[in-house]
Structure 1
């Protein structure tokens, strides 16, 4: 590591954050993980990189020993977005949001934008488990007429969610659409599984005009996303089938990979 390495703090040390840390280390990225934030005491954590300090409150971002992070990456759930995002942006740091369902209701995004303007930081939205968000966002510059986002997962991935009251997940013989509504409604009702609906909405038509369908499919072998868009640019159909994260079947390997890409793009000289 050199003095010019990008300094990063991770909020959370669960399955996704650990995978991000491991991938950055394996790829020898020009990144220095200077802090990991969790509610647990440092002694209860394992696998923290050497030289990385444990912090437990947002105020710790700007005090104590160690380098200050230039980029703060949230990977801990939507309850952590508001306090850690406010602290990071108020300190002029850039803030990457994984739990975008935090923006599904209330004025949080607008408040973050005000802080970013005042203090010179940026709010970064990684594509998460999605692909083609760059194309959808580019198309929105000319105008979109319709965006539909379908999220298809095996029944087991929907356990522990309101899908259990919408259908008998264990008895399904074919694909079943158990939810149809807006991106705002989907993210509010299914914050872990439909978090990505906020990303496609922010890239395209917004939370209230983006159509979302949630599907339980016993034939599904991974977590799939299908985005259909129409507009002045033409038409597009994007489909991605992700391998579930080994330590958390509700998340995809691509979720961690997209965070690694975001961090490496902030640290490198070639941005792709």
Structure 2
């Protein structure tokens, strides 16, 4: 799709990284911002102060990177305007009713709700494995204590005094993503690809010896057994987010314009 028209919602660390790495053949047509934002946008990029502005931009793809509260208004508006919609704040999709509304909107407009892999790899294999019954999926998210600062983790353990790794939370994917939306967005992706929100087990770990954001995913089922292990470098501008989160969105865009897709 040469000349793909892209709209980014948000202009934080993730959106700016994506914009800097867009492949040839992609036009950044607009950026959705909160009213009153003083963000400095690139020349020629339309500023959108509300989702209603999408109707006049003829966008092909809208990517949300502004936080979970932006997912519903911008997602519904994007799909109604004839664009595909990719939410980076996948923790919002723990709201089953919201997920159902977005899927229904995509079906009605003959567009797609696209779930990016975020900081994960191997999601294609997990999604393929669920064609046969999966029996268990477990996802451990391991980050340095500083990456958990400003979250509920501060009340569950003393992040500043840790000498060993501590698993301060274990529960379902919807619980993890809802309680730790900035750090555990990716848990929702694992769940959507595999066993679903309630049956996917997520453990959150603060490790003073960690220098990267790590993900360990194990899955068993009729297909066999898989183990996915990644150690992602945090974004320098946002340590709660892995660099791979932005790179996965760049790849998503590239797959819309490249003649060969992997």
TM range (shorter): over 0.9
Alignment match, 1:45: 39
Q: CA deviation at 1:91?
A: 1.8
Deviations 1:172-200 (A, max 9, x none): 11110000000010011001101100000
1:100 aligns with 2:102: no
CA RMSD of aligned residues (A): 1.2
The runs of at least 4 consecutive aligned structure 1 residues that moved more than 3 Å come to: none
Structure 1 unmatched runs, 5+: none
SS in 2 for 1:141: coil
1:14 aligns with 2:12: yes
What is the distance in 1 between the residues matched to 2:139 and 2:2? 40
User: Number of aligned pairs?
Assistant: 262
Q: CA deviation at 1:105?
A: 2.3
Alignment match, 1:55: 48
What is the distance in 2 between the residues matched to 1:68 and 1:123? 17
Alignment match, 2:75: 85
Q: CA deviation at 1:218?
A: 0.3
Deviations 1:86-134 (A, max 9, x none): 1011122100010011111240010111111111110000000011101
SS in 1 for 2:118: coil
Q: CA deviation at 1:50?
A: 2.8
What is the distance in 2 between the residues matched to 1:181 and 1:134? 24
Q: CA deviation at 1:167?
A: 0.5
What is the distance in 1 between the residues matched to 2:214 and 2:24? 29
Structure 2 unmatched runs, 5+: none
Q: CA deviation at 1:59?
A: 0.5
Which of these residues, 235, 245, 250, is aligned with residue 260 of structure 1? 250
How high is the TM-score relative to the length of structure 1? Answer: 0.94
How high is the TM-score relative to the length of structure 2? Answer: 0.97
Alignment of 1:200-215 (within 5 A): 200-215=190-205
| Alpha carbons 2:58, 2:81 under 8 Å: kept | no
What is the distance in 2 between the residues matched to 1:71 and 1:51? 18
Which of these residues, 144, 150, 163, is aligned with residue 160 of structure 1? 150
Which of these residues, 125, 131, 134, is aligned with residue 135 of structure 1? 125
What is the distance in 2 between the residues matched to 1:19 and 1:268? 20
